[in-house]
Amino acid sequence: FLQACGCSVAVDNAIPAVKSTATLVTSGARGKGVEELIAKLIKRDHGIVPRRHDGIVLGSSGGDDIYLSPTDSVLIAGSSGIGKSTLATALTERFVENRFQFCVFDPEGDYDGLEGAVRLGDGSSAPTKAQVLDLVAEADSNVVVNGLSLRVNERPDFFADLLPGLGSFRRRTARPHWLVIDEAHHLLPKRRDDTRSVLSLELPGTILITVHPEAISTDALRLVTAVIALGPTAKDVVKAFCRETGIEPPKDIPTPKGDRVLFWRPQVRKKLTTVKVIEPRQSL
């Protein structure tokens, strides 16, 4: 049971076998340990869970693994053809390995054939909301929502119609654990006035992928907890994100080289780091 839990906690007087399995062990025993846990939850909520426990490895920096958590809202941005979809594909492979359910919104049909996922929709017909929600309700099913048959101006309405139902399901079940939104500037465009109403208060476990971060809804960008910038325009990505969200940009923005990307947690305001990211096993 403890191994199946997203976050398991043992009090200090638990038997060694239980303590070795638990995610966290309190310093207090018995009731004092329970009080300690309650206080931590009130203060930090899901922040009590170490990233290495429920996180997905993005890559490494300076010999340390860099993790993305299911509570993160992630922006992946960079110029066209620089490897955004490749990185997203690698992350979905890690989702499968860690038994995280995911749903990919794929307006351009870039994820056809993605391993471990069922595709809904194609170039001639769009999936329905009922089809998506019914498939997501199956815990072992990962979904690629192919929107290739939708015109560009139809995509925001399709997504706005689907997101509240999906958000309601996530609040009840915490699934799918991850949403991957490709071409996010099409699905959550800045020009729409109703984005705030279709977004939940947070976008946990969400990856926004775009060439144009400045064209994404500002409300969505303000929920981002991790920025991943790729390629020669990486500096511009960070500056555009800061400009749109009203955050002061970092003073020193390095240029990533080779297979490295810029990684930044804007809400923590730590320095940007360059990360050697994981690579996918499959090629789409």
Write down the pLDDT at residue 65.
Answer: 93
How would residue 226 be classed by pLDDT, with cut points 50, 70 and 90?
A: very high
Q: Where are the domains of the chain?
A: 9-49, 52-277
Specify the pLDDT at position 192. Answer: 73
Q: Could you tell me the CA-to-CA distances from 224 to 197, 219, 231 in Å, in that order? A: 17, 9, 20
Looking at residue 198, its pLDDT comes to 63
pLDDT digits (tens, 9 = 90+) for 42-59: 988 767 776 555 689 999
Contacts of 269 (CB under 8 A, 6+ apart): none
Question: 144 with 112: CB under 8 angstroms?
Answer: yes
Q: Is the pLDDT of residue 201 over 90?
A: no
The class (CATH top level) of 52-277 is: alpha beta
- Whether 11 and 33 have beta carbons less than 8 Å apart is answered as yes
> Nearest 10 degrees: CA dihedral of 82, 85, 90, 94?
140
Q: What pTM did the predictor assign?
A: 0.86
105 pLDDT exceeds 90? yes
Is the distance from CB of 274 to CB of 258 less than 8 angstroms? no
State the Cα–Cα distance between residues 214 and 216, nearest whole angstrom.
Answer: 6
- Least confident window among 9-13, 14-18, 21-25, 58-62: 21-25
Q: What confidence tens digit (pLDDT) does each residue in 68-94 have?
A: 988 899 999 999 999 999 999 999 999
